[in-house]
Chains A and B, each alone.
Chain A
């Protein structure tokens, strides 16, 4: 009896040591531990040749574009530098220069409250510049003369930007994608955007903005396979000074956009349940 109990205890101890040990190979920060999964297989595209042009002589931005340098998206390579839009060591990006009240507002929010304000919780459009900065899904440009048509796979969203140099209309209505007008400066398409709906965020971590936000996007295509997106954000009510992004890389894909309708969203429900749980535990 005692011997059997001893065997059981030893087996339990061994199993406990196995179970508390990391699975398979020892995981390192940012790496998935299962051999073969998380192994980066993302390769940057070559430049692919010269920039294509439209008959009027401007660079042609048309194409399906993926964020990052690989011309695609692989879940196992999410942390691979090749799949990132920019390398912060080479082209560092400043943190948003919030005014003290804005910084305090963000700091005072719980993580769950912040998550509940995230536009994606309700499948709202990412807006501008969110459709580039917080969008891991491909976009498609169709450059048609005096219009740039942008199709976003995420939420089956689109915008049509006139690129003939016209000004903004007077007092445009707020819209998720704002009111956007474009013109060429050499080989760079400059898109000026105002009247962006205040429920959009400029990054993943809560950068909210006011109705006075003014966004200037710069798009260029230095070679066939690459699109560069750079954005300047001014917001006199939220920021202390204008913020300029790093030049962000998008790369040419060769597959069509997929349909993406947000028909099965459970995030808000789950987060609200979490909030109730945490509020209940505080009582």
Chain B
């Protein structure tokens, strides 16, 4: 039990460190900028109309207050942290006066849902097929699957999403391309709405799974083909333990741990993939919010989405770390 608590404590420390460094990085990025966000917003707003100098000055002052850019850098740093701790990023400029946190709150479930389904699907499928491919090395079908996964694995998310968009959008238009559900549909827990959501999420999920599955497959296949040469596996085979049981509880069980660690490591890049996939398919998640924030010059929105992304991903990694003791009995028993 003590090692278990120690493990959790250590992981929690790492979680705090990630959030701390990540958010400091965003603060740093904002402040090394040669462009003053206030000036940028002011000139964007006054570009098409001449305004009174006093009005512009007033606007400048209120924007500075809004963005927390008053006082010395240290004061600004304190204000910055205060706002982040209460998740208050001020109102969005492009969707004035909706607060940024409301916009993010609306978008976050879509991103999390997309990621959750895609990660679980690709992780489970990749590991099971990879385990089989490592155990039955001479199976033709599994070899072919391996070649396909190997070809898909290094291709970036954008390219795969783009190819799917061309294939299912123009060559064989059977699936909806944009949005999270049919336009003009009232959201609610009804069958037709849920069906529409599932149908709209198929392409984004498919592109995330197609890229993601290869890594798990290759990793599991390599791990399994190393483990099958271990003495205890040979012993089990000689002892007449059934092959499915050997594969399931002797081989793959031991290969599972590094794969869970791997999930924690690549979660950040899967998140990047989800962001760009959302943009390609017009999915109303964090990715689309981030890009529209940049395009409209919405400073608070970009800052908010970046911060929330860092916190979300590191929380997810922390949760995976909490899962770890369930799989590794050594930590539990301690």
Q: Are A and B a genuine interacting pair, yes or no?
A: no
Q: Enumerate chain B interface residues (CB-CB to A < 8 A).
A: none
Q: Enumerate chain A interface residues (CB-CB to B < 8 A).
A: none
